[in-house]
Structure 1
Amino acid sequence: MSGAAPGARLSDEQLVDWLRLIRSENIGPRTFRQLVNRFGGARAALEALPDIAARSLRDRSIRIAPRDEIVQEIDRARAMGVRFATTGDPDYPPLLREIPDAPPVLALRGSSEVTRRDGVAIVGSRNASAAGLAFAERLARGFAREDLVVVSGLARGIDAVAHRATLDTGTIAVLAGGQARPYPAEHGRLIEEIAERGLIVSEMPLEWEPRGRDFPRRNRIISGISRATVVVEAARRSGSLITARFANEQGREVFAVPGSPLDPRAEGTNDLIRQGATLCARPEDVITALAEGAAKPPRGELFDADEGAGADEPLFDELDLFLAQGAFAFEEGPPSPLFAAPEPELGPETASPDPSAPVHGRVADPHEVVLSLLGPSPVAVDELIRIAGLPARDVHGVLVELDLAGRLERHGTNAVSLVYNQKL
């Protein structure tokens, strides 16, 4: 990209120009790159943009981000300890530069040292089982012992467990919203802990409230930063499968943890394995593959599970399409939609408890929490108590109730599971 050779930081004025351009209406990462390459810099592109819009958008003007708005964002960011890194900045994650839709500017909070180590993404269900959460923690700790950085999306469930397990060694959390509007709000304390030794990453404006379609945008960054992506639990149509598809398209290795065919939370991961993802049963499966240089070229339609292909809402909007039709010459073909399906619009924060962390004083129904963590795969009772974050007597009380109702199966190693023909 013009004006951003790796290792070169932009001046303050250049940063303002870059942020103005990427924050302007209908400017996505590919259009940004094409405009900068065409006109030799962001400022020249900003000056040319009104004429391009007038020709291409049939006299409909587009909103160009005002300079004072961007200066205020930079000032607010600095007050929060947030800095901006462009694609040529040494702090920009090196692997992320390689993807076709790399964000031109990232807002970073924390230590960029973690971006200079190999990253592995761990993603999975928000409503994960206790077995899935325990295995995600085991994976994360195993990767950390090999100096690999765990990357995830700060969501409830698998993401949160992966981050918490690697706080001491550094982890990378990618936000769907702005640095001042992390989601979910209950992870505010976790974000502060990550920022101490790890890194918080966002491409969105500082005060941006995340919407459903912003999560797939985030997912391409998670996979783009990482040499490999591991999906621990995922139902069909899960956002984690979108992350896996991005990883495949980016030429990164995709791993999936197998699960019980009786558990809907394992349907997506089992599908991935059938379609060619590498089975992951222990941290060494990933570590060995990376040591052998496992990054591969994209595998085409290999990951085509039913995840809403052909969504109505592409990432790149009208200006990108008009430019692709010939407003000026391109260095590459017209972009295709970046993701297959948006995640559902965000609901209330109180929609479901987070079983991946202690309750921390929140009112929660022990029966619902324990039931949400159980599935067809056995889990040790002690592990269940730890993950539920509830008093042992409450967990044992729920288990007795489930036992009396004929919904619980007890195993010889002090482990329990739900009876297979019962719904969660």
Structure 2
Amino acid sequence: MNPPDAPPPGIRLGPEQRLAWLRLIRSENVGPVTFRALINRFGSAQEALEALPALARQGGSTRAVRVVGLEAAEAEMGLAERLGARFVCLGEPDYPAILRAADAPPPVLAIMGDAAVLNRPTVAIVGARNASLAGIKFARHIAAELGRAGFVVVSGVARGIDAAAHEASLDSGTIGVFAGGLDRPYPRENRPLMRRIVDSGSCLVSEMPFGWEPRAIDFPRRNRVVAGLALGLLVVEAASRSGSLISARLAAEMGRLVFAVPGSPLDPRAGGTNQLLKEGSLLVTEASDIIDVLRPMDGRLGLRAGHDIEEGEEEMMGAAPTDSERQRIIEALGPTPVAVDDLIEHTGASPGTVHLTLLELDLAGRLERHSGGRVSLLA
């Protein structure tokens, strides 16, 4: 049996495999779901890379899909090493056990710092960038109390609540998740804090490439990793329309517990948290409100049985769809998300044929994937 803080067992990839995984996840239109489907279909990242152009053409792409070359992957590996970072792949011992248990976990994570904190019990704390002084003080207090209780704090290294939570948990363990590459810290004013996170024995993580400048559309993806790394997520302050509420929704979809701090109805920064409480989130006025609920989950409740991706065995999706099958599936899709099971039932096609057609559309940039395994066709 593993000691409480030991990483889960796993097999480390060889250097060539690691480069192939990095090339595949960095190639155009390949996300976590598509990555898994490709490995299942072809048995290895290298075989999947060779198949990408043909699959994209079959999905209707009118131009050559961008496949990341070996030199570009080696350059990113080299940059990571020079910056003191490394890549950890899904299924390897250092990959966070709890994130493995989430739906569609990132196949490759860049990590800077001590990865040991990634496999300790973790709580996410998120909230407003323009937080009130009271909100910042409360976030610091809760983060410090959680640290003393043995929990690691994870957040998005943003201004306001995120920064306060990281600062208060530097001595006990904290994880900062980037929306861009680890060499593109955002906001720049938090660079000293990011350095202190690494120097204190904690770590920074990102699924995005080195050199990637974070854009607005990248933050929900960052929020998904924040939520996926935690047993529960606390929202301290959040307006009625904020990224923190996206984090809360993602956490709930993953089966994580969502906590919220009540606030004055007159403060717009409390609009989102008060709404979460109306919808059934757990009310928090002190750290014990979180600790008492999460303490029984310290053993991760079987989370080590995660969604690993293993090379070497092909899981056949079925034969390539005929033109008529492919057309029938595409015609059944539209801008409204539908469940894949409903698509299979409606078209009468085999599950393997439907999944392979969706993979082709995905690689051609014509498919959008939604929560709950639903899909829609892009215009």
Q: Structure 1 length as normaliser, TM-score? A: 0.70
Q: 2:268 aligns with which of 253, 261, 264?
A: 264
What pairs with 1:263-412 in structure 2 (closer than 5 Å)? 263-293=267-297, 325-327=354-356, 336-337=369-370
Tell me, yes or no, if the aligned pair for 1:6 and 1:87 is still in contact at 8 Å. no
Decide whether the 8 Å contact of 1:52 with 1:327 is kept in 2.
no
Q: Which residue of 2 aligns with 1:207?
A: 211
Conservation of the 8 A alpha-carbon contact between 1:56 and 1:327 = no
1:186 aligned to which of 168, 182, 189: 189
List alignment gaps of at least 5 residues for structure 1. Answer: 297-311, 315-322, 340-424
The answer for unaligned runs of 5 or more in structure 2 is 1-7, 302-334, 338-351, 360-366, 373-379
Q: Write the distance in 1 (CA, Å) between the matches of 2:358 and 2:72.
A: 31
CA offset digits 1:184-203 (Å, max 9, x no partner): 01111111100121110000
Aligned ranges 1:51-70 → 2 under 5 Å? 51-70=54-73
Decide whether the 8 Å contact of 1:21 with 1:27 is kept in 2. yes
Q: In the alignment, what sits opposite 1:389?
A: none
Aligned counterpart in structure 1 of residue 43 of structure 2, from 40, 43, 49: 40
Q: Is the 8 A contact 1:132 1:158 kept in 2?
A: yes
Structure 1 pair 260–250 and aligned structure 2 pair: CA distance change class (3 A): same
- C-alpha distance in 2, partners of 1:160/1:81? 22
Equivalent residue, structure 2, for 1:242:
246
The residue that corresponds to 1:221 in the other structure is 225
Larger Rg: 1
Task: Choose 282-291 or 59-68, whichever is displaced more.
Answer: 59-68
Q: Structure 1 329/262 Cα, relative in aligned 2: closer, same or farther at 3 Å?
A: closer
Distance across 2 between alignment mates of 1:6 and 1:224: 20
1:174 to 164, 174, 177: 177
Note if contact 1:32-1:104 (Cα within 8 Å) is conserved in structure 2: yes
More helix by share: 2
Q: Distance in 1 between matches of 2:268 and 2:179?
A: 26
Query: 2: distance between equivalents of 1:224 and 1:324?
Result: 30
Q: Is the contact between residue 59 and residue 357 of structure 2 (CA under 8 Å) also seen in structure 1?
A: no
2:319 corresponds to: none
| Change in CA separation of 1:6 and 1:21 when aligned onto 2, cut-off 3 Å | farther
Which of 79, 87, 91 is the aligned partner of 2:94?
91
Higher relative contact order (CA 8 A, sep 6+): 2
The answer to whether the aligner puts 1:80 opposite 2:91 as a matched pair is no
Distance 1:120 1:256 in 2: 13
Aligned-residue CA RMSD (Å): 2.2
TM-score scaled to structure 2, two decimals? Answer: 0.78
Q: Once superposed, which parts of structure 1, at least 4 consecutive aligned residues long, lie more than 6 Å away? A: none
Query: Would you say the 8 A contact 1:30–1:335 is kept in 2?
Result: no
Q: Supply the distance in 1 between the matched residues of 2:173 and 2:151 (Cα, whole angstroms).
A: 9
Contact 2:121 2:230 in 1 (8 A): yes
Q: C-alpha displacement at 1:133, in angstroms?
A: 0.5
Verify the 8 A CA contact 1:124 1:159 in the aligned structure 2.
yes
Amino acid at match of 2:269: R
What corresponds to 1:252 in structure 2?
Answer: 256
State the number of aligned residues: 308
Displacement of 1:325 in angstroms is: 4.8
Amino acid at match of 1:32: F
- Tell me which amino acid in the other structure corresponds to 2:154: V
User: Shift of the alpha carbon at 1:324?
Assistant: 8.7
Q: Which amino acid aligns with 1:230?
A: L
Identity of aligned residues (%): 51
CA distance in 2, matches of 1:325, 1:107: 33
Report the alpha carbon displacement of residue 327 of structure 1 after superposing the two structures with TM: 3.1
Question: Counterparts of 1:193 and 1:202 in 2: how far apart (Å)?
Answer: 17
Q: CA deviation at 1:293?
A: 3.9
For each residue in 1:116-159, what CA deviation from the matched residue of structure 2 results, as whole angstroms up to 9, or x when unmatched? 21000000000000110010001000100011000000000000
